Amino acid sequence: MTQVVLQPSGNKGSREHYRNTIDELVDLAAHRDLLGEALFQHLISLFPSGQAPMWGVTPGQGDRNRASWQKIELGASALFAADKQIFSRGMIAAVFHNPPLARRLWGIDENGATWEYMYALDSVEEVNIPYAAFNAAVGYKSNNIIQGFTVLSEEKSVAFLQTFPASAVRVEWPATPDEVEEARRNLDGDLERRVEAWQRAEQSVLREALLRGLATGECALCGRVMDSRILVAAHIKKRSCCTDSEKRDITNIGMLNCKFGCDELYERGFVSIDENWSMIVAPSLTDDTALAYVMDTMHTSIAPRPASAKYFAWHRQHHNFE
């Protein structure tokens, strides 16, 4: 999944909003009453510090903004623009409709509307991308001005992200000493904090995509339903081997696996899924207890997931099943 959201924020009101709820973070506990318990808990899981950058848009003329907001996918890159340049970017980690909270944070505009179509951001970073460079990257005319809140087409989103990948995304951790050195140069030294922040955000987004904020979930490999805290958001293809675009393929790269065996067996390549979606067991798995678990507890086959087939194929090849 690859998506870019353009958020012009150059007028006086927008600048104030940016200072108040992105530069200054929103304290989640202070708004627990309006967030509601489920959303509050979800945001706390995404932002363990208890504070989050937030943004919102009004419904817009003819509900134009609402229609665009509904297209936002988790993990999208939001670009904030003013004075003919994109000055910051962040990853959209949660999307929610909350008029009372918007009124409390930002009030109402001259038409009585509020910025009720909201999102929370992670990994916000300052950038300096002139409109001209943005226009060139996505194929707009060079004098194009970014007009309103817009969700870019997939084609334009891909083009932008290829030219301007989020800096933290480029870094793998753990990395080789050379890569660490290069990353340090790219990130002005504060490497560890930013990489950890990104990975935490990425893991949270994957969990959210798989769990949808629910307190329980189903293990993809054994079908047992259990408390979400004993499920992991696993990568079908090993995360460190994924390209950036594969990592962002949130709906297809992940699956929920239970910590009671399935995650460990799949992660280590003792089991895999074949092209007919059947469970296959590595010859190297000879332990009786583990084999009994596979036979008695795990699925013999899973529901077909064609969009994930290439990731399962990678897993089979990587672990010498074929």
List contacts with Zn ion (CB under 5 A): 219, 221-222, 258, 262
Q: Are 53 and 125 in contact (CB under 8 A)?
A: no
Question: Measured between alpha carbons, how far is 235 from 317 in angstroms, rounded to an integer?
Answer: 15
Question: Measured between alpha carbons, how far is 81 from 171 in angstroms, rounded to an integer?
Answer: 25
Instruction: Give the N- to C-terminal CA distance of the chain in Å, as an integer.
Output: 28
State in angstroms the smallest separation of the CB of 219 from Zn ion.
Answer: 3
Task: For Zn ion, give the closer residue by CB, 68 or 272.
Answer: 272
Residue-wise burial string across 9-20, b where 16 or more C-beta atoms lie within 10 A, e elsewhere: beeeebeebbee
153 CB-side CA count, 13 A: 5
Task: For Zn ion, give the closer residue by CB, 124 or 285.
Answer: 285
Task: For Zn ion, give the closer residue by CB, 230 or 309.
Answer: 230
State in angstroms the smallest separation of the CB of 255 from Zn ion.
Answer: 10
> What is the maximum alpha-carbon separation in the chain?
71
Task: For Zn ion, give the closer residue by CB, 159 or 221.
Answer: 221
Per-position DSSP letters for 1-13, written without gaps between them = ---EEEEE--SHH
- One-letter amino acid for residue 276 of the chain: N
State in angstroms the smallest separation of the CB of 108 from Zn ion.
Answer: 49
Task: For Zn ion, give the closer residue by CB, 242 or 256.
Answer: 256
- Residue whose C-alpha is closest to residue 129's, from 169, 198, 92, 79: 79
Q: Which two tokens stand for residue 16?
A: 């104030």
Positive/negative CA dihedral, 309, 312, 314, 320: negative
Task: For Zn ion, give the closer residue by CB, 146 or 255.
Answer: 255
**Residues 238, 244, 245: CA angle, nearest 5 degrees:** 100
Task: Specify burial of residue 227 (Cβ count, 10 A radius: 0-12, 13-18, 19+).
Answer: exposed
State in angstroms the smallest separation of the CB of 212 from Zn ion.
Answer: 19
State in angstroms the smallest separation of the CB of 112 from Zn ion.
Answer: 51
State in angstroms the smallest separation of the CB of 169 from Zn ion.
Answer: 30
State in angstroms the smallest separation of the CB of 227 from Zn ion.
Answer: 13
- Residue whose C-alpha is closest to residue 242's, from 301, 297, 176, 308: 308
State in angstroms the smallest separation of the CB of 233 from Zn ion.
Answer: 13
Task: For Zn ion, give the closer residue by CB, 171 or 220.
Answer: 220
Task: For Zn ion, give the closer residue by CB, 147 or 289.
Answer: 289
Question: Measured between alpha carbons, how far is 163 from 289 in angstroms, rounded to an integer?
Answer: 50
